[in-house]
Amino acid sequence: MRDQETVEVRELVRPAELTGADAATFRAAAGVGIRARRHQWGDDDHTESLPEQYARAADTAAEQWRGWIAVDGAGGVLGLLTATLPLRENPAVAWVDVVVDPGRQRRGVGSSLMAVAERDLRTAGRTVLTGWTETAGTEPWPDAVPARSGAGAVPAGAPEVAFARRHGYVLEQVERLGRLDVPVAPATLQAWYAALPEHPDHELIAWSDVAPADTAADYAQLKTAMSTDVPSADLEQDEEDWDAGRVADEEAELAAGGGHRLVTAVRHVPTGRLVGHTVLERFDARPAVAYQQDTLVLSAHRGHRLGMLLKIDNLRRLATAWPEVRRVYTWNAEENTPVLAINVELGFRQAGVVGAWQKRLC
């Protein structure tokens, strides 16, 4: 039997500010997350910095945050489990994430955290737990564990995969993690634009960080559509209830964590309504890295290569707005073939795999 750590698991409180003695435990817990992700990837491209973790831990009208830490006899924080509880929809769901200090893994710390968090979440009425594992590398995987969706697999031997299976989580869906080196050469951008059809009824509009007041309601509708139009396999996912206030809260959280956003949207000129959008984000802690987030075209406007137009135009903006960015990451469900096809066309190559796991507590 492997050595087991004797730990106490307690709830982590988000301090009122990040400086001072009150924040020491939160900072120590965030440090575990930083070291664990760095160890997993060998770089900081997927490491959430302290300000990002602190911003994410703030409650909003739409989400409650909870955290648990595992502490050893000397008071050192060995592991952290966080849960986000959606408040406006998905009343039985909690999104969970667990990290253990690289030097103290495989000694039962993650399991101790999971036992207490599951008990407390069940008490709070959250009986559907969803979590995501990230594994570096490319297919084919040795000992592939297939997703219940029927598309994609993750490697059984990866610690995070073994841990999730050991705790009774079911692999519902697999996403491909793609990476694109940027900036895209101007000649390549030009060739992409030239290959697109004309769009006489559509025009692009763009903003950074905060949606202009006259777009906020339409943007909220696109966010609502995003919650159901992206394939989610058998993961429990209600339609999300977005409005201008929720958009503003999310923008404030991004800014508090040192985040920035480039949004390009497409307006249907005859109706004046926004019918699609795409989002790139970057964080002060990782100036060379950007993340391709949402891309959506409303169903009535699909089939005209508007998704490709949106992505190309935002990549063009990225080169001037954020010249220090060298790589862009994106995640797409393996069954989302239209979006994967666009990303392959743009030059994204697989960098890893994300497993979406779900466990129903009895």
Ligand X SMILES: CC(C)(COP(=O)(O)OP(=O)(O)OC[C@H]1O[C@@H](n2cnc3c(N)ncnc32)[C@H](O)[C@@H]1OP(=O)(O)O)[C@@H](O)C(=O)NCCC(=O)NCCS
Number of neighbours of residue 227 by Cβ within 10 angstroms: 18
Provide the minimum distance between the beta carbon of 152 and ligand X in the complex, in angstroms, as a whole number.
Answer: 17
What is the pattern of x (binds ligand X, CB under 6 A) and - over residues 236-275? ----------------------------------------
What lies within 8 Å, CB to CB, of 99 at 6+ separation is 32, 33, 36, 37, 79, 80, 81
Cis peptide upstream of residue 186 (ω within 30 degrees of 0): no
List the one residue from 44, 45, 72, 97 that touches ligand X (CB under 6 A): 97
Under the criterion CB under 6 A, does residue 108 sit at the interface with ligand X? yes
Residues 276-335 touching ligand X, rule: CB under 6 A, are none
Can you give the three-state secondary structure of 150-203, one letter per residue?
CCCEEECCCHHHHHHHHCCCEEEEEEEEEEEECCCCHHHHHHHHHCCCCCCCEE
Cβ-closest position to ligand X: 110
Under the criterion CB under 6 A, does residue 47 sit at the interface with ligand X? no
How many whole angstroms separate alpha carbon 90 and alpha carbon 57?
Answer: 19
Under the criterion CB under 6 A, does residue 68 sit at the interface with ligand X? no
How many whole angstroms separate alpha carbon 136 and alpha carbon 151?
Answer: 18
Under the criterion CB under 6 A, does residue 48 sit at the interface with ligand X? no
List the one residue from 57, 69, 83, 98 that touches ligand X (CB under 6 A): 98
Q: Which is nearer to ligand X, 161 or 263 (CB)?
A: 161
Residues 122-141 touching ligand X, rule: CB under 6 A, are 131, 133
Q: Which is nearer to ligand X, 163 or 348 (CB)?
A: 163
Provide the minimum distance between the beta carbon of 169 and ligand X in the complex, in angstroms, as a whole number.
Answer: 9
Under the criterion CB under 6 A, does residue 106 sit at the interface with ligand X? yes
Tokens standing for 276? Answer: 């699609």
Which window, 60-68, 97-105, 185-193, 216-224, contacts ligand X (CB under 6 A)? 97-105
Provide the minimum distance between the beta carbon of 36 and ligand X in the complex, in angstroms, as a whole number.
Answer: 4
Q: Which is nearer to ligand X, 48 or 240 (CB)?
A: 48
What is the pattern of x (binds ligand X, CB under 6 A) and - over residues 18-37? ------------------x-
Written as one letter, the residue type at 126 is R
Which window, 16-24, 101-109, 219-227, 278-286, contacts ligand X (CB under 6 A)? 101-109
**Per-residue DSSP letters for 309-339?**
HHHHHHHHHHHHH-TT--EEEEEEETT-HHH
Strand 327-333 to 286-297 pairing: parallel
Ramachandran region, residue 65 (left: φ > 0; alpha: ψ -120 to 50; beta: rest): beta
How many whole angstroms separate alpha carbon 277 and alpha carbon 340?
Answer: 17
Under the criterion CB under 6 A, does residue 105 sit at the interface with ligand X? yes
Count of residues binding ligand X (CB under 6 A)?
Answer: 21
**Binding residues vs ligand X (CB under 6 A):** 2, 36, 40, 97-100, 105-111, 131, 133, 159-160, 162-163, 166
